[in-house]
């Protein structure tokens, strides 16, 4: 039975063509072997590495480009900031120059006045007003007061020359300017402060104008009394001319102040300061300046003078004896 079984198997092996495998006709490049799969895996791995390297190089290049662009952007921002800063500095300087011109232009209306108006206001400064029930008008310009202050400075210098004051290595210009401008600005500020406390309707510019035109009486009084040296004449001018200019200012302040006590305080202070300043300029100013000069430069010593000396009388006997001795010697 066994042989019969094996015989059937052999018949099947010999007779069936579909079951016979011819190893000689097999192709080695069929791709089903492990070696082919390893080669394919190695090739794919190499391709992946190449792609990764290419991607890495591309990323590095992009990063370098980004850094370069970032540096350019930073430099561009710095350039823009420097340019903006320079523009702001130039704009600030231009605005300062324009504001300075604008400030000068603001002061222009206070000096824009005709000579006829200045002359009329000078005459009005010597005429006291009668109506004090309503506020009197005050000129809001500074040209006339400023010229009166400079005129007072010139009169003080002229008075120092006529009083035979000896000046060595110095000048009185600074002292005179300091005295006149100090009085004008200082007293105007003080009276304006009192006017504010007393509720008087007046501005600082109006106060400067009022007190400046009030110096017109001082200029007239000092100019006359420096050339005509009489104390009685000075007292007359002091009461009449100085008193009229003071009454003018007092009347204007009375018209702009409400309340008897406030009027008394404000107007009394102004009248006392104005009249006493005229007395100071006439009597004490020269002595004060001479004292300052003596302190700074020493006492005023008289110039060096030659003094004649007496020659003693020689007797005739001495002369004859001297002549005989000389003759014998020769």
Provide the pLDDT for residue 265.
Answer: 93
Q: Which domain holds residue 151?
A: 140-297
Asked whether 145 and 213 are in contact (CB, 8 A), the reply is yes
Nearest C-alpha neighbor of 243 from the set 270, 217, 216: 217
Q: Kindly state whether residue 230 falls inside one of the protein's structural domains.
A: yes
Provide the pLDDT for residue 246.
Answer: 93
First to last CA, the chain: 207
pLDDT digits (tens, 9 = 90+) for 34-87: 445 556 656 777 777 777 777 666 666 555 555 544 555 566 677 777 777 888
pLDDT digits (tens, 9 = 90+) for 197-236: 988 889 999 999 999 999 999 999 999 988 887 888 889 9
Q: Kindly state whether residue 213 falls inside one of the protein's structural domains.
A: yes
Q: Kindly state whether residue 174 falls inside one of the protein's structural domains.
A: yes
Asked whether 248 and 128 are in contact (CB, 8 A), the reply is yes
Q: Kindly state whether residue 62 falls inside one of the protein's structural domains.
A: no
Nearest C-alpha neighbor of 184 from the set 165, 209, 160, 203: 209
Task: Compute the distance between CA of residue 99 and CA of residue 120 in angstroms, rounded to an integer.
Answer: 35
Ranges 83-87, 113-117, 197-201, 325-329: which has the least confidence: 325-329
Task: Compute the distance between CA of residue 153 and CA of residue 186 in angstroms, rounded to an integer.
Answer: 16
State what percent of residues in the chain have pLDDT above 70.
Answer: 60
Q: Kindly state whether residue 205 falls inside one of the protein's structural domains.
A: yes
Q: Is 274 exposed, middle or buried (0-12, 13-18, 19+ CB in 10 A)?
A: buried
* Distances from the Cα of 75 to the Cα of 62, 66, 78, 80, 169, angstroms: 20, 14, 5, 9, 65
Provide the pLDDT for residue 330.
Answer: 56
Q: Kindly state whether residue 256 falls inside one of the protein's structural domains.
A: yes
Q: Kindly state whether residue 130 falls inside one of the protein's structural domains.
A: no
Q: Kindly state whether residue 282 falls inside one of the protein's structural domains.
A: yes
What total of structural domains would you count in the chain? Answer: 1
């Amino acid at each position: 039975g066994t042989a019969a079984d094996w015989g059937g198997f052999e018949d099947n092996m010999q007779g069936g063509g579909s079951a016979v495998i011819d190893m000689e006709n097999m192709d080695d490049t069929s791709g089903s072997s492990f070696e082919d799969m390893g080669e394919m895996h190695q090739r794919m791995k190499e391709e992946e590495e190449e792609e990764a390297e290419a991607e890495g190089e591309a990323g590095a290049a992009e990063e370098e480009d980004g850094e370069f662009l970032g540096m350019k952007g930073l430099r561009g921002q710095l350039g823009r900031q420097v340019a903006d800063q320079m523009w702001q500095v130039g704009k600030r300087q231009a605005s300062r120059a324009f504001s300075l011109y604008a400030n000068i232009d603001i002061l222009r209306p206070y000096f824009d006045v005709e000579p006829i108006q200045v002359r009329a206001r000078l005459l009005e400064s010597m005429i006291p007003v009668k109506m004090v029930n309503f506020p009197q008008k005050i000129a809001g310009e500074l040209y006339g007061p400023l010229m009166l202050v400079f005129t007072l400075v010139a009169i003080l210098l002229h008075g120092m020359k006529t009083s035979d004051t000896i000046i060595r290595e110095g000048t009185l210009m600074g002292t005179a300017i300091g005295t006149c401008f100090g009085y004008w600005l200082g007293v105007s500020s003080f009276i304006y402060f009192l006017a504010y406390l007393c509720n008087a309707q007046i501005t600082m510019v109006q106060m400067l104008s009022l007190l400046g035109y009030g110096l017109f009486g001082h200029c007239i009084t000092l100019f006359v009394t420096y050339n005509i040296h009489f104390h009685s004449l000075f007292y007359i001018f002091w009461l009449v001319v100085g008193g009229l200019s003071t009454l003018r200012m007092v009347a204007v302040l009375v018209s702009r102040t409400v309340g008897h006590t406030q009027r008394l305080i404000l107007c009394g202070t102004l009248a006392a300061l104005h009249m006493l300043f005229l007395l100071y300029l006439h009597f004490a100013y020269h002595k004060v300046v001479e004292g300052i000069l003596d302190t700074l430069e020493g006492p005023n010593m008289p110039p060096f003078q030659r003094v004649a000396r007496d020659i003693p009388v020689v007797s005739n006997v001495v002369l004859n004896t001297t002549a005989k001795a000389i003759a014998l010697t020769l």
